[in-house]
Amino acid sequence: VPVFETLDRLASHDAALRRRAAAELVELSARGPLGRLATERLASLVVAEQDPLVWRSVLVAGAAAGSEPAIRTAVAALGHPSPEVRRRGCEHLAAHPDPRHAKVLVPALGDRSDSVVLAAVRALAAADRLDDTGPLAQLLGHKNETVRLETARALARFGSPAGTVALERLAHSGDPNTRREVAVAMGELGDPALTGTLIGMLDDGHGIQRA
């Protein structure tokens, strides 16, 4: 079976061979999702993998899979030294949302990479609920405005007043892209209490009026 032959090469000590095998997995997954047995085998192999290029291909190959082994692989990615791998792990969990993922995503909110923090916020927001929004609320003071915006959007989605207040504050951002995204977020929420803020943004340019 081609997929298992390819997986066998992922156990090689030769990094170049593992990279080629991982790239082949991406091609195979494009023809159809990897089966559960293959995904289980992949999860057991990749745990010890350090090469970020191999990891990137592995996560692309398993992106469509929401099985337990695929989720386990994504969770393992959160502990990788490469921020890109950690980010992709969060993105996989976002594509297959589950409130139970919070136990691994909440620690990622403290990641040193803003891109990982942003991906973790979005993954948490993709779930139906979050029992404790406290760790999210702490990010409302983050230095990165995009992180603050996504955090406010997530909190508002979970019904936290802090999120709504933060969105109203970000409606006055100096960045037109942020203001446009705020208008979009408010529209998605559909909260009548935000109508006044949206009316105030009707005089704004940069495509914000349309949003």
Give the model's pLDDT for residue 167.
97
Cα separation of 165 and 169, whole Å? 6
Please give the full DSSP string across 114-141, using - where no structure is assigned.
HHHHHHHHHHHHHSS--S--HHHHGGGG
Cα separation of 89 and 33, whole Å? 18
Give the model's pLDDT for residue 134.
96
Residue matched to tokens 């047995």: 37
Give the model's pLDDT for residue 95.
94
Residue matched to tokens 């992949």: 42
Give the model's pLDDT for residue 1.
64
Give the model's pLDDT for residue 128.
82
Contact, 95 vs 109, CB < 8 A?
no
Contact, 108 vs 120, CB < 8 A?
yes
Q: Which two tokens stand for residue 89?
A: 């792990």
pLDDT along the chain (211 residues), means of 10: 88 95 93 88 91 94 85 94 96 95 97 98 94 96 97 95 96 95 94 94 89 93
Per DSSP (E only), the strands in the chain are: none
